[in-house]
Amino acid sequence: MSSDETVQETLLAIWEVHRDAVWPKVGGGHEGELMTLDTVISGCMVFFLDSKGGLDAQRVDILEGCLADLDNLLPDMPDESSAYFERLRTLVGLLGKAAKNE
């Protein structure tokens, strides 16, 4: 199995878990921003799947911005919601990697 296939399989497995996860309780004033990040990242993932593994440069740029935003927000994340957003961050990283391998 190639490295690209491993990335894609891992990406799909994480996506399945994330897609079925319940939105966590988020304290503080970042819930709206986190919801937007989740929606945008999920939209990029759906596009990636529908296009059979491709993302255009604009979506790759958007994902890079989402990754930076998550990196800024994760240190302040309450423990009860950190797993959800750590998984989302992993999803973004793998999605970006898979898109660049295409």
Using one digit for the tens of pLDDT, what is the confidence trace for 49-100?
A: 998 778 888 999 999 999 999 999 998 888 889 999 999 999 999 998 888 7
**Which of residues 30 and 36 earns the better pLDDT score?**
36
Closest CA to 37 of 1, 82, 85: 85
Number of domains the chain contains = 1
Distance CA 17, CA 6 (A): 17
Q: Lowest mean pLDDT: which of 18-22, 31-35, 51-55?
A: 51-55
What pLDDT is recorded for position 92? 95
Q: Which domain holds residue 84?
A: 3-100
CA angle 91, 12, 6 (to 5 degrees): 95
State which H helix or E strand residue 76 sits in: none
Contact 7, 90 (CB under 8 A): no
